[in-house]
Chain A
Amino acid sequence: MTDRTRPLHVALLALNSSGYQSLALGYLRAYAQADDRLKGKAAFTTLDLTVDLDPWWVAWRVLGMEPDVLGISVTCWNARAVYEVCRIVAEVRPETVIVLGGPEVGPIAEDVLRERPAVHAVVRGEGERTFAELLHAFASGGKAWRVDGVTTRKLDEIVSAPDRALIENLDVVPSPYLTGVMSPIEGGAYLETYRGCPHRCGYCFEGKGYGRIRSFSHERIAAEIAAVAGAPQIRTFSFIDPVFNLTGERLTWLADTLEPYAASGVRLHTIEVDIERIDEAAARELKRAGVASVETGPQTTGEAALSACRRTFDAERFADGVAACRRAGISVECDLIVGLPGDDAHSFLAGLRFAIGLDPGIVQSSTLHVLPGTDLWMRAPELGLSFDPEPPHEIIATPDVGYRDLRRAEVLAVSVQAAYRARV
């Protein structure tokens, strides 16, 4: 892209689950808009659409905006639709530069560029700084392939610039809510208080992708909570933190900060917790924070699968945590994964039986997705995992359970969960 006289028109696109908006795009835009070098050189529009929309109509909306740059956040769930949108947009408007980012594409950036000629560049890893740098390169005639964290084409060659270091001080990423880039929507607003995860579950990108834990400052978190929980339209919202009860002190601080809003009826839903560290006192803190429902594992109770996925599980502590939440009036969603290496269909059923036996409120199972960049993705040949290379990368068979029993286990789990849910 050569030197320009008019601002770059940057369209940001996310295809979300119904009722949600993309926090990732909010961050990208808030960061880029605050970059002095892009002032007057880039104008932004966000399209927060839903993944169930026909890609042809998504392309219609995109093309109607005539963007110079189209940035799309890609997950395993929306990737198929995103690739279709890219194909159509590239065909109709080849001058639009298509940039993808997100956990689905970052770890396999070179493959994505090789297989998808419509895509011009992939932003790898944490996107805010890299995307802003890339826009700066586009706006000033710089070279995209020189931007750290970017994989792109240099003539006919696919090249990856070095990885970009993680942002040390997360507060330099402006809040999408405090800057007005996003307005919170009822039920679908999420806050993030830190990045990274203390755990390293083999099937998850979170523990692998962002490494050590980096937190936003208390001031920043408190201001965002005030902006979201204090908004008149908000009665419920949530946090995307992988472990809300990261430490006891942090939980108490969050409860102190959230308590006034909880007292006025604002509730937190599907808060992810480490349930084995929840005792009566922690459950009281969650309640004080306004937590109505929490989401947790065990994902599996099978010893072989736990070990293959580098997870720990203590049945007694898990049961105590669920019971403490229930006594505090907090509904618990216990999640299980079908098809983990080391689990056969019967050990999956053992986990299902364990979860149902705790009477947590909700039991939810999903099928393993072998996601790019995760430990399981990298160890798939060694573990003998057969999975769909196309997103969402569902497991097809493992050495422990074949294709037919996997499908059976999925159907059986849905039926048991429905029977459990059906109560007065």
Chain B
Amino acid sequence: MLVFERVAIGSGHGIRCTRCHPDNESPVYHPAAQVLAAVQAVVDTWHGGPGPNVTLTGPEPFAHPELPGMVAGAIDAGVHRLRLEVDGGAFARPGNAEGALGAGVRHVQVTLLGGTEGVHDALAGGPGAFDAATTGMAALDDAIRTAGVAAIVTVLVPVCRHNVADLPAAVGAAVQAGAASVLLRLEDGGIDLEAAAPWITAACDTGVVNGVWVEVEGVPFCVLPAYDLHLASTVRATGGAKPAAVCHACPLDRVCSGGPEGASAETMSAFAPPAGAERLAQAVSRSRGGAR
């Protein structure tokens, strides 16, 4: 419902699974002027929905030497909602949370690779990362309350075969740290979706009973029957993998973004038009403002 345009602050990636990506290249940051020119272009061409809203993506923003200037520049350019994608650790350091809020950051997305120290630290590639992330989130949550500003912390969990069993715990950790919502994004084309489904549904339920929404990307409707609301929300992954032969006969084809990108044939063998697909397709189209 809320659209955020993505603007990269550099090449390279933020925190992600080191087992899936053992050869993580070192980040190269773009100069602030280049980032701000891209932000300005977003503002100038904003399409009219609530906004402009921008997510600064790419490598860890708190390692960018010109972050304060970029944030101030984006707000001056007219951005209403500025989101940072972070590993969370920087907020554990005194002053960072207050500084970010004071400069106008209102959305912070912290990446958790697991819900426990064992999983997160192992996948993040070093000890202490989980503690830093959760301490940082709690500090940010405190700073938001103290400042009395409308700002939110959300959690992104990039899901792969190495952390799938830790998803309910990851949602639990997000709840504990005061997150407003959690996004589970399946990024592993080789993951066994059927085996992953119980962990994903348990993670969704953990969120709901704690009043925190869990959105799922990269899982098709047919793999998570009765969890369609978790798949049909705000921003969807596009271009996910679908086995054309099955999906073209499925009424949900027009609203379903399929499995994770690069999904293997084995993964896709789980796909089959689910019961009640036509009715669900109509309902989902309706909720997205499409055909009635």
Residues of A within 8 A of B (CB): 302-303, 344-350, 352-354, 356-357, 359, 404-405, 407-409, 411-412, 414-416, 418-424
Contact = CB atoms under 8 A, between A and B. Distances in A.
A424 B151 CA distance: 9
Contacts of A414: 211, 213
A423 B81 contact: yes
A350 B106 contact: no
A405 B227 CA distance: 9
Given A352-B1, A353-B287, A359-B49, A415 B180 contact: yes
Nearest to B210: A411
B195 interface: no
Contact of A416 (B1, B80, B106, B151): B1
B286 A347 contact: yes
B80 A415 contact: no
Contact of B181 (A302, A347, A352, A419): A419
A422 B151 contact: yes
Contact of B150 (A357, A405, A423): A423
Interface string B78-98: 011110000000000000000
Given A356-B2, A415-B212, 8 more contacts: A346-B232, A357-B49, A357-B289, A359-B49, A408-B230, A411-B211, A419-B152, A422-B106
A103 B58 CA distance: 56
Contact of A412 (B152, B154, B229, B283): B229
Contact of A353 (B180, B211, B289): B289
B135 interface: no
B286 A423 contact: no
B288 interface: yes
B63 interface: no
A48 B150 CA distance: 31
Contacts of B82: 424
B2 A420 contact: yes
Nearest to A351: B287
A349 B288 CA distance: 8
B181 A415 contact: yes
A348 B284 CA distance: 11
A347 B232 CA distance: 12
A351 to B, nearest CB: 9
Given A408-B230, A415-B180, A415-B213, A346 B286 contact: yes
Which among A345, A353, A414 has the highest number of chain B CB atoms within 10 Å? A353
Interface in B196-230: 207-208, 211-213, 226, 229-230
Contacts of A421: 150
B45 interface: no
A258 B235 CA distance: 45
B229 A405 contact: yes
B264 interface: no
Contact of B229 (A303, A347, A408, A424): A408
B287 A349 contact: yes
18 contacts: A303-B292, A345-B283, A349-B233, A353-B288, A356-B49, A357-B50, A359-B50, A408-B230, A415-B180, A416-B1, A416-B2, A419-B107, A420-B1, A422-B151, A422-B152, A423-B81, A423-B106, A424-B80
A409 B292 CA distance: 20
Contacts of B50: 356-357, 359, 420, 423
Which among B1, B151, B208, B213 has the highest number of chain A CB atoms within 10 Å? B1
Contact of A424 (B104, B230, B292): B104
Interface of B: 1-2, 49-50, 75, 79-82, 104, 106-107, 150-152, 154, 180-181, 207-208, 211-213, 226, 229-230, 232-234, 283-284, 286-289, 292
Contacts of B80: 423-424
Which among B213, B233, B288 has the highest number of chain A CB atoms within 10 Å? B213
Closest 5 CB pairs of A and B: A346-B283, A349-B287, A415-B213, A346-B287, A359-B50
Nearest to B104: A424
Contacts of A345: 229, 283, 287
B284 A346 contact: yes
Contacts of B232: 346, 349
A347 B283 contact: yes
Nearest to B227: A408
Contact of A357 (B1, B79, B208, B287): B1
Which among A303, A350, A352, A407 has the highest number of chain B CB atoms within 10 Å? A350
Contacts of A405: 229
Contacts of B151: 422
B288 A424 contact: no
A350 B104 contact: no
Nearest to A357: B49
Nearest to A354: B289
B213 A347 contact: no
B287 A412 contact: no
Contacts of B226: 404
A414 to B, nearest CB: 7
B208 A411 contact: yes
A377 B124 CA distance: 55
